[in-house]
Every structure is written in structure tokens, then in C-alpha cells.
């Protein structure tokens, strides 16, 4: 691919570190993790020791002190290697920023160092059985009782939920106010009344633990509130642009990895006595894939720059998430065809990438919602 102006030698070194980590710690175990539905906790601690977690958390809170450009290298390289698990970027680039940007000093001191080291694994609980992209429709509620909140409700499709030590829960604290009555509250998973359901069986991303969570009179101190009461929806809206940008970055990595595998395969695969790559159809289709990735890469890099300058708009982030996730699907589908029947076999990375990619158009806000956001900016 073309040289990317955003990145320097230090980012190349980081890419190499991420590659080595996934080759040595993830690849040998991934098939077993897919069968059972979750990864070993030990890999989180190993990633933390290498500075691969919570990259934007300052050193004073135990983090590496990097920026979103650093985070993007880790996200892209993990997905280029073809592994949707562990859920590092949910933990590092979606959840940690809520605590860092809006949490009290006590919450920062308690959780960020442990999250950066991999000692504590974090999940965020927004989606409910009856509320997905429409966060205003959530029914989980938290009522005040003296110096505590008591939480009741259920959440579903929660990434990292099975292994989580803490969950950032979106709950109605003033139901009569609608979206303006939502708060974000940290719940420790050992708290009485909290229960984690069975690991959900999914189409793809099988090594990534995804569960339902249940809250039955879960009592937590009011000091676990992130920011101000009833301001949770505004916090969510302010962070969703970064979440959607992270999805776009991951889409670039996934598409690049699959294309590279397919180029290698078509150079080796013999059809009618010639390498598959020598056929014009193969060359043209793969050229189209490469062009799409290069165009998407340029837009993502522009969005990263604008995000780091504090100028990324909701519509720009929505466009990145929508277009890149759909580009990823097109590229993977095109590439899978060149593998023939082998592309349909789960042991081939392209088959795993095909099923893993489908969720990209759903989480972070369904792509139909992204179109609505873009349309409102017209």
C-alpha cells in the first residue's frame, strides 16, 4: 500500500510488536478459544505488559500515554492478523475514554491502571433486548437510595461481558426525562445481584465472549457514577464518533489482511496449468479490491487526523463506519470466491473473516442509522 503520512518509524515498530504478539500468543490458541467462546485472561495481562492496552491513557494513570494514532495502529494490526478477539479495542478505546474523560479522580485511580495492565477487563452495557441503536429506548433503571444506586434490568450482546471485572452500565436515572435521564454507572461484576448469562452462540467472532447481563437490585455506591447524573446520553454521543472511527479502522485492517492472503493464494493455486493470478479476471477483481482499500485508507487517515484535532464531525464518523464496513464486506466476499470450496471451510482464515465481518455493519450503530446521521448533515 502507499505510504501513509500520519505514521512514522515508531508506528512501524509498534506494528511489528503487535504482529509478534498475535503470532506468538493468539494464533496458537485461537481455534480452541473459538470452540469455547472466550480467550484466556492471561493474554490480557501479557498485552498490558507490552503497552498494547489503553494506549491513550496517560502515564499518571498507568497507561502508555499515547494518542488515537497509536490506538489505530493496534486496532488495524490486530484485525489485519485476522483475529476479532480479544476485545482489546472495546476495552481500550471505547470504555477507558469514558472513565478518563468523565470519571471522577477516584474512578480513574481505581480502574485505569488495572485496565492498562490487563488485570481488570472492562465491558460496556448499552444494548438491551428491546433497544439496540435507539439508546433512548433502554429500560434498565437505577434509583437512588441514600448514597447508593440500585440497578435493575438486563443487557444483551455485551462484548467482554463473560470475562469482565467492571461494566459501564447505561441506565435510566430519571425515566420521565427520556434521553436526558440516562446515567453511566460502573458496576463491579462481583456485586451481589449481578449475573452473567451463558456465552451467546454467534455466526462469527466466536472467540470473542458475548453475553447477556442481568441486574437484580444491584446496589453500587453513588461514587461509581461517571460524570454527572442524567448526562450519560450526552457522554455517549460525544464518544460514539471515536467508536465508529475504530470500527472503520478495524475494517481497513481486516480487508488488507484478507487481500494479502488472497494474493498469495492466487499466485500459488494452479488452474488449467497456470497460476490463478495470471487470469485477467483475477487481476481485475483483486485490483478493484486494492483500489477500494486505498481509497478507504485515505479517508480513514483523514478522519483520524481530524479526530485528533477535535474536528471530526458525527457525519464524518458515520460515513467512515458505514462505507468502510461495507467495503470490508465487498472485499472479503470477492476474495473468498477465489478460494473456491476451500473458502467455505472454517479452517481457512477467509471463511472466518467472512462471518466475523458481518457484525461490523450492526454494532456501533447499524449502518441504516449511519445513513440517517449523514442525511441530517446535508
Q: In a 10 Å sphere around its CB, with 0-12 CB exposed, 13-18 middle and 19+ buried, how is residue 182 labelled?
A: buried
Say how far apart CA 292 and CA 294 lie, in whole Å.
6
Q: 34: which residues sit within 8 A by CB, 6+ positions away?
A: 206, 207
Which DSSP symbol is given to 24? I
Phi, psi of 54 (to 5 degrees): 50, 50
Cis peptide preceding 68, ω within 30 of 0? no
Does the annotation mark 347 as catalytic?
no
Catalytic position from the list 77, 229, 243, 326? 243
Say how far apart CA 18 and CA 132 lie, in whole Å.
32
C-beta atoms surrounding 315 within 10 Å: 16
H or E stretch covering 105 = helix 105-117
Say how far apart CA 240 and CA 101 lie, in whole Å.
13
Say how far apart CA 356 and CA 377 lie, in whole Å.
31
C-alpha cell of residue 355: 462471518
Which DSSP symbol is given to 309? T
Could you tell me where the beta strands, DSSP code E, fall in the chain? 122-125, 141-145, 148-159, 166-172, 182-188, 194-199, 210-221, 225-226, 270-271, 274-275
C-beta atoms surrounding 374 within 10 Å: 17
Q: Catalytic positions, please?
A: 243
Amino acid at each position: 500500500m502507499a505510504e501513509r503520512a500520519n505514521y512514522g518509524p515508531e508506528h512501524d515498530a509498534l506494528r511489528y510488536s503487535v504482529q509478534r504478539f498475535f503470532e506468538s500468543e493468539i494464533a496458537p490458541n485461537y481455534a480452541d478459544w473459538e470452540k469455547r467462546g472466550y480467550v484466556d485472561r492471561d493474554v490480557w495481562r501479557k498485552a498490558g505488559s507490552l503497552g498494547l492496552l489503553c494506549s491513550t491513557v496517560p502515564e499518571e494513570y498507568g497507561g502508555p500515554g499515547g494518542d488515537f494514532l497509536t490506538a489505530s495502529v493496534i486496532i488495524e494490526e490486530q484485525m489485519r492478523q485476522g483475529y476479532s478477539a480479544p476485545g482489546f479495542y472495546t476495552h481500550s478505546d471505547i470504555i477507558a475514554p469514558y472513565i478518563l474523560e468523565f470519571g471522577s479522580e477516584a474512578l480513574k485511580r481505581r480502574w485505569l491502571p488495572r485496565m492498562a495492565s490487563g488485570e481488570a477487563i472492562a465491558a460496556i452495557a448499552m444494548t438491551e433486548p428491546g433497544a439496540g441503536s435507539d439508546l433512548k429506548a433502554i429500560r434498565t433503571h437505577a434509583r437512588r437510595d441514600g448514597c447508593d444506586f440500585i440497578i435493575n434490568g438486563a443487557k444483551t450482546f455485551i462484548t467482554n461481558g463473560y470475562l469482565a471485572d467492571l461494566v459501564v452500565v447505561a441506565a435510566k436515572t430519571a425515566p420521565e426525562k427520556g434521553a436526558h435521564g440516562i446515567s453511566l454507572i460502573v458496576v463491579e461484576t462481583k456485586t451481589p445481584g449481578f449475573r452473567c448469562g451463558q456465552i451467546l452462540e454467534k455466526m462469527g467472532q466466536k472467540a470473542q465472549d458475548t453475553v447477556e447481563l442481568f441486574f437484580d437490585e444491584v446496589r453500587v455506591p453513588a461514587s461509581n457514577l461517571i460524570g454527572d447524573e442524567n448526562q450519560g446520553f450526552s457522554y455517549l454521543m460525544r464518544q460514539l464518533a471515536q467508536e465508529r472511527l475504530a470500527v472503520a479502522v478495524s475494517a481497513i485492517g481486516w480487508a488488507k489482511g484478507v487481500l494479502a492472503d488472497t494474493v498469495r493464494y492466487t499466485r500459488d493455486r494452479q488452474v488449467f496449468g497456470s497460476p490463478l493470478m495470471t487470469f485477467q479476471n483475477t487481476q481485475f477483481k483483486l485490483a478493484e479490491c486494492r483500489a477500494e482499500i486505498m481509497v478507504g485508507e485515505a479517508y480513514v487517515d483523514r478522519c483520524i487526523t481530524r479526530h485528533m484535532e477535535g474536528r471530526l464531525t458525527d457525519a464524518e464518523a458515520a460515513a467512515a463506519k458505514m462505507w468502510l464496513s461495507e467495503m470490508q464486506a465487498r472485499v472479503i466476499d470477492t476474495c473468498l470466491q477465489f478460494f473456491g470450496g476451500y473458502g467455505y471451510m472454517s479452517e481457512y482464515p477467509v471463511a472466518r473473516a467472512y462471518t466475523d465481518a458481518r457484525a461490523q455493519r450492526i454494532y456501533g450503530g447499524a449502518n441504516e442509522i449511519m445513513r440517517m446521521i449523514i442525511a441530517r448533515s446535508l
